[in-house]
Amino acid sequence: MVRTAFVAGVVAWFVVANTLALAEHYYLRYFGEPFGPKLFSVFDDDVAIASDAATHFLPVGMALTSAACLGAVQAWCTFRWALVPERGATWRDAVVQVLVVSTLLVVGWGRPAARLVDREGISVAREPMLDDLLVNTPVRLTLALMRASAVASGKTSPQQAAREALRSHGFADAAALVKALASEGALDLSKGATPDEDPNTTLLRAPWHRTPLSERLAAHPPHVVFGLIEGWGGYGLSLDADGFPIAGAMRRHLEAGWWFRHAVAARADTFSAIEHLLINSGSPALLLTNGDKPVAFDAAAARPFQQRGYRTVFVYGGARTWRNIDRVMRRQGFDDVVTQAEIVARYPQADTGSYGVYDGYLWRYVHDMLEDADAKGQPLFVFALTMSNHWPFNVPGDAATGPFDLTKGWRASPASEAEREARQRGVRAYRYAMDALGDFIDRLKYSPMSSHTILAATGDHRAPQWRNQDNASLSPFEQYHVPIYLRVPPRYTPAARLRLDDFVGHRDIFPTLYTLALSDTPYVGFGEPLFGPVPPTRRYAVAQQRYLFSTAGARDLRSGVTYMHAEGGDPGLLGQQALDANASLALADWYSEMQRGGKAALAAPPASSSR
């Protein structure tokens, strides 16, 4: 009986481990990262994304069968070769097995294991997926659960998390990062930093900047609208053509406005992208949500607008209960939060999809807010988050229906009728999101607010339509590419040259908006404006806290693997950019953790323009 239970336990262990490994493999392919602390909040973050990911996993029957068969083979090999026969066992065999198990426990639970779920992780191969699959899934899950539990229970203080953020980027302490920033020229001594100053104080001051003094902006502040478009991946937009008109109404606006074609998303999911944009966070944990008491970040992106007399509004097409979005955003400098309930209350005829109102009604609400603010003479800042380009890709009845030629978007049209229809729905949803945004711009263009409203829009992450294995050969840039679009009225257009040929990212958007709209205003930023001169070592973009892209080449900051352009690559400059990027990411992560602990507010903004 005991032996039967033992055999069943061994087989069950292998089957469970194999099943988890299969799940992590497809989680990695879908989300772009292995299991980590964020796994335990994926359903709170976005049930639809989790459900969509599940549909891309192996069929349940095939997965369980494969796991069971492999587990049976592993168990047979264990019983055949690894176990000592009952009658042949000696004390030496027992000692050896105890030593082996003890060594595994020490390595698995000691300092070497601490790096298994670090942002820097472990690198032994040129292929990123091999690095990500290096650690077996049960160990990674256990460590991720320990980290998530520590954060949730408050056992990890913000100060401790800040120190861990520095170490994850290779800096022993704050002094080491100060030294690196100074050597890279990223630390402006004119801000008051001195060699004998406390390193923490120096770092708290380092990310502060101030927009130039402008009497015109002070007297005539423009309205500012920022749109974060669900699933607006750049790869889908690159396929736009007369035979595959996926850009819809946005095509003419992209060509007429500022369209940055070499932009990447900072993170792989919606809420992490919001955190990066609003509080410059690169943390693997979600910092904005903290149980029943959301943390108020003093350097949140809306606060500079609020300090200059703007009414600040966060508009979201879904329910206010998603991530406690209403309560969270009110603590980040937003005067008001508008969600699905308010939009439907204003427009009773508003259609809703599976996870919120369709984009057309959201943009209509934003336009009406602009009209109301304009009539009152009050500048308005809007952060709008759309929902339509979202699994299961429902669209309103009046949306463009196609059919679209699927061979233009994928290597081949699938044989399955159900799969073809699913892809048609995906293309329709992408096209509808583009039409809704384009129609909003049309209304804005022919309204009185056109001359004094700045619009910026980007995608939160790559398009979910092209996440499946049929397009697994996409390059890292194609996987993380999102458009960045700006519409700037002539009276607010800067004289400096646009950086349309540079690689840029989410971190550059709000420094651009501050410079375009606000006069003599302090702000926290880790990027560069999308126009004007920028030092060569700062002209790069980073996706996933890992992949650096620039005109000099590309580099995986974790493994150090470098990719050069066929022509015009500059390995020396790329190396300098990698050093700058690592220091900048470390500073951003450290600073966001210090904000969470209330320490960042102690840093005074600079007294004069830093640019």
Looking at residue 416, its pLDDT comes to: 79
> 488 with 258: CB under 8 angstroms?
yes
Q: Cβ contacts of residue 402 below 8 Å, gap of 6+?
A: 424, 427, 428, 431
Long-range residue pairs from 335-338, CB within 8 A, at least 24 positions apart, any chain: 335/306, 335/311, 336/311, 336/312, 337/313, 338/313, 338/314, 338/365
Looking at residue 220, its pLDDT comes to: 97
Q: What is the dihedral of CA 170, 171, 172, 177, to 10 degrees?
A: 170
Domain parsing of the chain, residue ranges: 1-83+91-146, 214-534
Element (H, E) at 572: helix 571-596
Looking at residue 376, its pLDDT comes to: 96
User: Max alpha carbon distance in the chain (Å)?
Assistant: 92
Split at pLDDT 50, 70, 90, the class of 118 is: very low
Three-state DSSP class for residue 484: strand
Residues 314-350 pLDDT 10s: 999 998 888 889 999 999 999 999 999 999 999 998 8
Encoding tokens for residue 519? 């006069």
Looking at residue 136, its pLDDT comes to: 65
Point out which residues pair with 260 in neighbouring strands.
Answer: 484
Looking at residue 578, its pLDDT comes to: 96
Q: Cβ contacts of residue 293 below 8 Å, gap of 6+?
A: none
> 335 with 380: CB under 8 angstroms?
no
- Name which residue leads in pLDDT, 565 or 141: 565
Q: What is the mean pLDDT of residues 165-181?
A: 93
Q: What is the mean pLDDT of residues 411-420?
A: 76
The domain 214-534 having CATH identifier 3.40.50.620: the answer here is: no
Looking at residue 211, its pLDDT comes to: 97
Encoding tokens for residue 568? 């015009």
Alpha-carbon gap, residue 485 to 232, rounded angstroms: 11
Beta strands in 371-518 (DSSP E): 380-385, 453-459, 484-487, 504-505
Alpha-carbon gap, residue 47 to 563, rounded angstroms: 36
> 26 with 66: CB under 8 angstroms?
no
Question: What residue has token string 């390595």?
Answer: 107
Split at pLDDT 50, 70, 90, the class of 119 is: very low
Among residues 207, 216, 219, 134, the alpha carbon closest in space to that of 177 is found at 207
User: Does residue 57 have a pLDDT over 60?
Assistant: no
Looking at residue 172, its pLDDT comes to: 94
- Percentage of residues in the chain with pLDDT exceeding 70? 73
Rg (CA), the chain: 26
Among residues 409, 444, 414, the alpha carbon closest in space to that of 429 is found at 409
Split at pLDDT 50, 70, 90, the class of 284 is: confident
Q: Is 464 exposed, middle or buried (0-12, 13-18, 19+ CB in 10 A)?
A: buried
> 285 with 36: CB under 8 angstroms?
no
Point out which residues pair with 459 in neighbouring strands.
Answer: 229
Alpha-carbon gap, residue 337 to 323, rounded angstroms: 13
Among residues 333, 337, 328, 331, the alpha carbon closest in space to that of 296 is found at 331
DSSP letter, residue 357: B
251-255, 259-263, 400-404: the lowest-pLDDT one: 400-404
Split at pLDDT 50, 70, 90, the class of 430 is: very high
Residues 557-609 pLDDT 10s: 988 888 887 677 899 999 999 999 999 999 999 999 898 876 655 455 555 44
User: Does residue 610 have a pLDDT over 50?
Assistant: no
> 116 with 124: CB under 8 angstroms?
no
Alpha-carbon gap, residue 192 to 22, rounded angstroms: 53
Q: What is the mean pLDDT of residues 85-94?
A: 62
Three-state DSSP class for residue 337: strand
pTM: 0.81
User: Does residue 435 have a pLDDT over 80?
Assistant: yes
144-148, 339-343, 425-429: the lowest-pLDDT one: 144-148
Looking at residue 41, its pLDDT comes to: 56
Q: What is the mean pLDDT of residues 173-193?
A: 77
> 247 with 240: CB under 8 angstroms?
yes
Task: Please report which residue ranges of 86-233 form alpha helices under DSSP H.
Answer: 91-109, 111-114, 128-132, 137-153, 158-168, 174-183, 199-205, 215-219
Sign of the Cα torsion 570, 576, 582, 585 reads negative
Among residues 609, 515, 533, 508, the alpha carbon closest in space to that of 224 is found at 515
Looking at residue 340, its pLDDT comes to: 93
User: What single-letter amino acid sits at 127?
Assistant: E
Looking at residue 490, its pLDDT comes to: 96
Residues 196-250 pLDDT 10s: 788 999 999 999 999 999 999 999 999 999 999 999 999 999 899 988 999 999 9
- Percentage of residues in the chain with pLDDT exceeding 90? 48
> 39 with 285: CB under 8 angstroms?
no
Say how far residue 357 (Cα) sits from the centre of its chain.
23
Among residues 186, 280, 165, 288, the alpha carbon closest in space to that of 542 is found at 280
Three-state DSSP class for residue 513: helix
